Amino acid sequence: MPSYKGHCHCGEVSFEFTTEQPIDGGTRCTCSICVRKGAMMSNEFIDEANLKVNQPKENLGMYQFGDKKAKHYFCKTCGIYPFHATARFPDKYRVNLGCIDEVDPLELPVTVFDGKNLL
């Protein structure tokens, strides 16, 4: 399985994960939080078991709203969003492709998920 490393802007949060398929595209979402973050997310939902966070959880803030299914993580130092546990599959994660060393999200084809209406 392909493996990737990522980190927030300041480096206080770093993580590693494996995917089923190589990252060859990204997703943007129209929901109220994603439209504000503006991040390109992984298309793939990553199993919790395949996402390793390298630092203690104290460096991670977590934000929830609405039905509080999704967990939106952020670095407490630089504020960057590294990954979140999804609303539809709470034990699976999407990651911020902008945090991944080998990936240039602006070079990838974009899929838009209509979270505004479908979540």
Residues in 11-40 at the binding interface with Zn ion, rule: CB under 5 A:
12
Binding span for Zn ion by CB under 5 A among 5-13, 45-53, 84-92, 95-103: 5-13
CA atoms within 13 A on the CB side of 55: 17
Residues in 65-84 at the binding interface with Zn ion, rule: CB under 5 A:
75, 77-78
> Would you say how long the chain is, in residues?
119
Residues 6 or more apart whose CB falls under 8 angstroms from that of 61 comprise: 73, 74, 75, 76
| Residue 57 found at the interface with Zn ion (CB under 5 A) | no
Phi and psi of 82, rounded to 5°? -95, -35
Structure tokens at 25: 């595209």
| Residue 106 found at the interface with Zn ion (CB under 5 A) | no
User: How many residues bind to Zn ion according to rule CB under 5 A?
Assistant: 6
Which residues would be at the binding site for Zn ion (CB under 5 A)? 8, 10, 12, 75, 77-78
